[in-house]
Amino acid sequence: MSRVFCIGNGESRKHLDLETLRPHGKIYGCNALYRDFKPDVITAVDMGIMHEIYNSGYAQDNKCVFRDWNTMPGDMYDQLLYAGQNYSDQDYDLIKKENVINSNERGDCKEFVLHGSNLAGVIEIMKKNKTREEKKVNHSLINVSWVTSDDKVRAVQDYMIDLAGKTRDRGWAAGPTSGYFAVLDNKPTEVFLLGHDLESHNDKLNNMYKDTRHYGLKEAHKTPSINWINQWLELIRENENITFYKVNPDAGKGTDPISTIPEAWASMKNIKYIDYTTLDNMLKIWYSITITMLDGFIYRLLNKIVFTCEKLREKMIEKSMPNPCKSAKEWRKDYEKWKKNQSK
């Protein structure tokens, strides 16, 4: 049996120590989770958070899955970004002041990835809107990442396959996309969804990283769940041989919006609903099984070592014995010598 854990950023997982999951299966996370925890794979599909992850240096040593991550040769940078426009010193000051371009250091990199708006259009809008309202959550309009050839990024469109068998990006959100790659990479028998809350307790934004860069404000209305529900449903339907577990505050009892089973999922036989107490009990059982198996392995290994040592000892003793093919006189002489050595 193999399992994977797909970590969403809903607040129901707030009190869970994610490190307790690591001994029991691969962990796939999404978006800003990388700020606090290193899953086996991180997935992001929105340009701001993708470039934040990459420009932090995280992708050099940790596996990432990004959307539309298409590299371009460095000598095209000025052509693509500035498009032959002649910008004034005032324009450049505005670009810097308003943090229009978010980029890492180029260094020796020969390629880059760019997402965002047309720079000339952005400058024109900013000039007309001189009284721009200052926002608590900053969103750059153009994102650039200078990339290395040995980073650990996979592009969604190079690996995801649609229902017709064609390789293409289905346009899923980061959470369901992480689930897709968890199944693709590991062929598990069990998939656990933690922090994929879908809903909110109070109709406000339900996210561990609200009020931070690339996320909405805490006062914002909750994100509509219809896309998440439909995309996860598609993955669940395509993998009838896998048991999916959605971990809720109160299993699937419907005592709160997060613990209510989505109507579209009601007929699915390969998804179960558990609470965090049940998950904790499962972790204890898995740990006990692991320790038992480890004890058994160590016991068998020690037995093998003892057996091998005994055989080696017998061989050494046998090798040191007098040769029986010698004459009786020679054999007796060698025997007395051997006996004397043994008594030392």
Say which DSSP state 72 is in. Answer: E
312 is a domain residue: yes
| Residues 197 and 8: beta-carbon distance below 8 Å | yes
In this predicted model, what pLDDT tens digit does every residue of 192-245 receive, in sequence order? 999 999 999 999 999 999 999 999 999 999 999 999 999 999 999 999 999 999
* Rounded CA separation 244/292 (Å): 26
The domain total for the chain is: 1
Confidence of residue 306 (pLDDT cuts 50, 70, 90): low
- The helix or strand, by DSSP H or E, that contains position 295, with its residue range, turns out to be helix 276-320
Q: What is the mean pLDDT of residues 110-138?
A: 69
Structure tokens, 280: 């904790």
Confidence of residue 135 (pLDDT cuts 50, 70, 90): very low
Could you tell me which of 78, 67, 51 has the C-alpha nearest to residue 146?
51
* Rounded CA separation 205/198 (Å): 11
255 is a domain residue: no
**What's the pLDDT score for residue 99?**
73
307 is a domain residue: yes
Residue 18 reports pLDDT greater than 80: yes
Q: What is the mean pLDDT of residues 179-184?
A: 98
Q: Collect contacts of 161-168 with beta carbons under 8 A, ≥24 apart.
A: 163/238
In this predicted model, what pLDDT tens digit does every residue of 65-102 receive, in sequence order? 999 999 999 999 988 887 767 777 777 777 777 778 88
**What's the pLDDT score for residue 297?**
57
In this predicted model, what pLDDT tens digit does every residue of 320-331 receive, in sequence order? 655 555 566 676
What is 208-248 written as a DSSP string? TTTTSTTS--TTSBPPP-HHHHHHHHHHHHH-TTSEEEEEE
Percent of the chain with pLDDT over 90: 64
Residue 295 reports pLDDT greater than 50: no
Say which DSSP state 163 is in. Answer: T
Residue 47 reports pLDDT greater than 50: yes
Could you tell me which of 34, 80, 21, 36 has the C-alpha nearest to residue 282?
21
Domain interval for residue 306: 284-338
Which range has the worst mean pLDDT, 169-173, 248-252, 325-329, 338-342? 325-329
In this predicted model, what pLDDT tens digit does every residue of 247-278 receive, in sequence order? 999 887 888 999 999 999 999 999 999 999 99
Could you tell me which of 108, 181, 139, 121 has the C-alpha nearest to residue 46?
139
Q: What is the mean pLDDT of residues 333-343?
A: 73
**What's the pLDDT score for residue 140?**
59
Say which DSSP state 167 is in. Answer: B
**What's the pLDDT score for residue 130?**
57
| Residues 105 and 146: beta-carbon distance below 8 Å | yes
- The helix or strand, by DSSP H or E, that contains position 119, with its residue range, turns out to be helix 119-128
Q: Name the residue with tokens 């997060």.
A: 258
How far is CA 74 from each of CA 12, 106, 107, 145, 153, rounded to the nearest angstrom?
A: 43, 9, 11, 11, 18
**What's the pLDDT score for residue 318?**
66
161 is a domain residue: no
286: left (phi over 0), alpha (psi -120 to 50) or beta: alpha
- Looking at per-residue pLDDT, the higher value among 309 and 226 belongs to 226
306 is a domain residue: yes
**What's the pLDDT score for residue 307?**
63
**What's the pLDDT score for residue 339?**
72
* Rounded CA separation 188/179 (Å): 11
* Rounded CA separation 217/209 (Å): 9
Q: Name the residue with tokens 């760019």.
A: 114
331 is a domain residue: yes
| Residues 200 and 258: beta-carbon distance below 8 Å | yes
103 is a domain residue: no
Residue 172 reports pLDDT greater than 80: yes
**What's the pLDDT score for residue 343?**
66
333 is a domain residue: yes
- The helix or strand, by DSSP H or E, that contains position 180, with its residue range, turns out to be helix 174-186
Confidence of residue 317 (pLDDT cuts 50, 70, 90): low
Mean of all residue pLDDT scores within the chain: 87
Planar angle of CA 243, 183, 275, nearest 5 degrees: 40
Buried b / exposed e along 121-147 (16+ C-beta atoms within 10 A):
ebbeebeeeeeeeeeeeeebbbbbbbb
Confidence of residue 114 (pLDDT cuts 50, 70, 90): very high
Q: How many other C-beta atoms can be found within 10 angstroms of the C-beta atom of residue 94?
A: 16
* Euclidean distance between the first and the last CA atom of the chain, given in angstroms as a whole number: 57
* Rounded CA separation 179/4 (Å): 9
Structure tokens, 83: 């498009």
